[in-house]
Amino acid sequence: MSEPARGPQVPASEALRRAITSLDWWVAAEDRVSSAAFAFPVFSVDVASLATPEQTLGRFKAGCGLVQFNSGAARQLGFDARQELDARFPENSAHANVYCDLPKNERKRRAQQLVSLATILRAPTLSAPP
């Protein structure tokens, strides 16, 4: 069965935002996000021009972090952002899926390169687990 057609490509000039929803994805000692937040064949983001940081964070529990990176720079690394609805939040017209079609043995390296591109907009303030 063929893969469903992907949505329109997010322009290279756009910024993309991803919520850091787990404190486990935050390297507190180094004050940076772990590439564990990006090392997948596909992950969700919001297109920055279509949602405020507060709107993005409003869909998650309080205290989540938020990082931002450029769509075009991410595409050069192999991360292709496509504007597609999220079945869990169909009202979110800013949603895009970021596809990483690279071989599995390149994804960690690329995800770490993506971390290097990302800007932290909000550090997470989630409570540390007991």
Partner 1 sequence: MTISVAAIYENGVLRPRQPLELAEGTEVRLTISAPADRAADAEVERALSARIDRLAALEPNWDGYGAPALDRHILFAAKQFIGWLATYTTAQPLAVPMSSGALQLEWHQGQKILQLEFEDPMTIHYLKWDPATGTEEEDVFPIGDTAKAASLIDWFTGVAANV
Among 55, 58, 106, 125, binds partner 1 (CB under 8 A): 106
Among 10, 13, 8, 7, which residue's Cα sits nearest to residue 70?
13
Residue 102 φ then ψ, to 5°: -70, 155
Q: How far is the CB of 18 from partner 1 (least distance, A)?
A: 9
Count the Cβ atoms, other than its own, within 10 Å of residue 79: 26
What distance in Å separates the CA atoms of residue 13 and residue 5, rounded to the nearest whole number? 23
> Binding to partner 1 by residue 71, rule CB under 8 A?
no
Question: How many helices, marked H, and strands, marked E, lie in the chain?
Answer: 3, 8
Beta partners for residue 120, in sequence order:
67
Which span sits near partner 1 by CB under 8 A: 7-15, 30-38, 47-55, 67-75?
30-38
Q: How far is the CB of 24 from partner 1 (least distance, A)?
A: 5
Among 109, 121, 123, 126, binds partner 1 (CB under 8 A): 109
Where along the sequence are the contacts to partner 1 (CB under 8 A)? 19, 21-22, 24-25, 27, 29-30, 34-36, 39-40, 43-44, 59-61, 64, 88, 104-109, 112, 116, 129
